[in-house]
């Protein structure tokens, strides 16, 4: 089916509303975080555009300010107030593109949402100049389709399972990328089946219910936080969804615990984060396969649980200075 320009804009508005996007003059954003929108780690660290959802090709916002994207084929105002928005936003977005032909709107909008939703989810920008927006055009809408992540190979699962089974004091860490709606059940199931205590980073809060009797706390600092009583004693940390854009929840060292990275994307190796093993791919499927190999086989799964009561008690007291309570 061929749609005219008005229908294309209606389709873009509908897509934007479903994904929780916002518009700013001729700019379609997929950047605003809301309940069903982008997670904390995907939000751009910059001022957000004004209110609105969808694609507004030109016109004024709710305050009456003119935010039209300037014409590109000709301009009666020469270069007056022309700003290269695409170049400006490229460092802050996963994709920034100017629409130069109305016929390309369906593919660009489809591609923008695809990029925005891929790991790590993040903002995209499409700039629609006012003269392109004024064109009449007919183009076929590109329908979305399901896209599944690949599953980690068996060798990676077996390697990680052997490391966990051999660990004396294992600990699970939940990072920013673990806080995804589709991972809520797989993460809870893994923790329940493996029975390994866990802590989370600030951006990983809520990935698994903190009311669990396996919850050890939240790492707000890189060291000398209350939960580091457990982290410092661990000999293996299963790092699920950690992204090094977060404040390091612990500082890796060659004499510290080994680390297994579990994520949809490979680990970013840093001076303070260099995992010894990785499970890369669909996180839910990878954790389910790992739990199949661990359930009922971990004699030392709860080795660090003895520290839990002391850690949570001091957090409840609102203590500001860490003391030795081993």
**13 backbone dihedrals φ, ψ, rounded to 5°:** -60, -45
pLDDT for the residue 54: 34
CB neighbours of 164 closer than 8 A, spacing ≥ 6?
A: 170, 194, 196, 236, 238, 260, 290, 294, 298
If asked whether residues 74 and 177 sit together in one domain, one would say no
Q: Which two tokens stand for residue 232?
A: 């410092």
If asked whether residues 164 and 309 sit together in one domain, one would say yes
If asked whether residues 206 and 312 sit together in one domain, one would say yes
Higher per-residue confidence, 320 vs 234: 234
Whole-number average pLDDT of the chain: 78
pLDDT for the residue 317: 75
If asked whether residues 97 and 171 sit together in one domain, one would say no
Exposure b/e, 294-318, CB count within 10 A at least 16 = b: beeebebbbbbeebbeebbebeeee
Q: Above 90 in pLDDT, residue 238?
A: yes
Q: Which two tokens stand for residue 207?
A: 């990935």
Q: Above 70 in pLDDT, residue 230?
A: yes
Exposure b/e, 179-194, CB count within 10 A at least 16 = b: bbeebbebbeebbebb
CB neighbours of 319 closer than 8 A, spacing ≥ 6?
A: 226
Instruction: Determine the structural domain holding residue 266 and report its residue range.
Output: 154-317
pLDDT for the residue 196: 94
Q: Is residue 254 part of a domain?
A: yes
Say what angle helices 105-117 and 5-19 make with each other, to 10 degrees: 10
If asked whether residues 136 and 159 sit together in one domain, one would say no
Q: What is the mean pLDDT of residues 297-318?
A: 84
Domain endpoint, select from 86, 109, 140: 140
If asked whether residues 207 and 253 sit together in one domain, one would say yes
Rounded CA separation 149/8 (Å): 30
Higher per-residue confidence, 59 vs 287: 287
| DSSP H stretches of helix in the chain | 5-19, 85-89, 105-117, 130-133, 154-166, 184-194, 228-233, 283-294, 308-317
Is 261 within 8 Å of 244 (Cβ atoms)?
no
If asked whether residues 135 and 181 sit together in one domain, one would say no
pLDDT for the residue 11: 57
Domain endpoint, select from 82, 105, 140: 140
Higher per-residue confidence, 205 vs 278: 278
Q: Is residue 191 part of a domain?
A: yes
Exposure b/e, 128-165, CB count within 10 A at least 16 = b: bbbbbbeeebebebeeeeeeebebbeeebbebbbebbe
Q: Above 80 in pLDDT, residue 33?
A: no
Q: Is residue 145 part of a domain?
A: no
Q: What is the mean pLDDT of residues 212-223?
A: 86
If asked whether residues 129 and 180 sit together in one domain, one would say no
pLDDT for the residue 259: 95
If asked whether residues 112 and 185 sit together in one domain, one would say no
Torsion of CA 199, 200, 202, 204, to 10 degrees: -160
Higher per-residue confidence, 169 vs 135: 169
Is 116 within 8 Å of 123 (Cβ atoms)?
yes
What sign has the CA pseudo-torsion 12, 15, 18, 21?
A: negative
Q: Which two tokens stand for residue 172?
A: 């699970």
Q: Which two tokens stand for residue 212?
A: 């669990």
pLDDT for the residue 77: 67
pLDDT for the residue 217: 86
The CATH number that applies at residue 205 is 3.40.50.1220
If asked whether residues 113 and 162 sit together in one domain, one would say no
Residue 167 C-alpha from the chain's centroid:
29
Q: Above 60 in pLDDT, residue 7?
A: no
Is 236 within 8 Å of 257 (Cβ atoms)?
yes
Number of domain units in the chain: 2
Q: Which range is most confident: 76-90, 147-161, 197-211? A: 147-161
Residue indicated by tokens 């970013």: 268
Q: Is residue 147 part of a domain?
A: no
Instruction: Choose the weakest-confidence range: 37-41, 150-154, 237-241.
Output: 37-41
pLDDT for the residue 59: 42
pLDDT for the residue 168: 94
211 conformational bin, left if phi > 0, alpha if psi -120 to 50, beta if neither: alpha
Is 290 within 8 Å of 279 (Cβ atoms)?
yes
pLDDT for the residue 32: 36
Q: Above 60 in pLDDT, residue 66?
A: no
Higher per-residue confidence, 188 vs 74: 188
């Amino acid at each position: 089916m061929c749609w005219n320009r008005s229908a294309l804009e209606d389709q873009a508005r509908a897509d934007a509303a479903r994904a929780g996007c916002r518009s700013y003059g001729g700019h379609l954003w997929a950047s605003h975080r809301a309940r069903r929108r982008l997670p904390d780690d995907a939000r751009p660290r910059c001022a957000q555009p004004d209110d609105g959802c969808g694609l507004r090709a030109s016109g004024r916002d709710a305050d009456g300010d003119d935010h039209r994207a300037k014409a590109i084929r000709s301009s009666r105002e020469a270069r007056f107030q022309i700003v290269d928005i695409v170049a400006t936003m490229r460092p802050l977005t996963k994709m920034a593109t100017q629409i130069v032909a109305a016929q390309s709107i369906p593919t660009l909008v489809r591609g923008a949402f695809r990029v925005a939703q891929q790991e790590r989810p993040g903002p995209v920008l499409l700039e629609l100049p006012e003269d392109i927006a004024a064109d009449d055009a007919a183009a076929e809408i590109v329908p979305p389709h399901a896209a599944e992540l690949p599953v980690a190979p068996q060798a990676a699962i077996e390697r990680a399972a052997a490391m966990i089974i051999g660990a004396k004091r294992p600990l699970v860490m939940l990072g920013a990328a673990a806080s995804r709606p589709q991972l809520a059940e797989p993460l809870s199931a893994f923790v329940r089946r493996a029975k390994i205590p866990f802590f989370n980073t600030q951006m990983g809060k809520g990935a698994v219910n903190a009311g669990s009797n396996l919850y050890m706390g939240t790492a707000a600092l890189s060291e000398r936080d209350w939960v580091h009583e457990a982290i410092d004693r661990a000999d293996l940390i299963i790092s699920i969804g950690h992204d090094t854009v977060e404040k390091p929840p612990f500082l890796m060292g060659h004499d510290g615990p080994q680390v297994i990275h579990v994520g949809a994307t490979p680990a970013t190796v840093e001076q303070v984060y260099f995992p010894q093993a990785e499970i890369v791919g669909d996180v839910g499927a990878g954790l389910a396969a790992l739990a199949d190999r661990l359930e009922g086989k971990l004699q030392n799964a709860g080795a660090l649980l003895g520290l839990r009561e002391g850690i949570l008690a001091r957090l409840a007291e609102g203590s500001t200075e860490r003391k030795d309570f081993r």
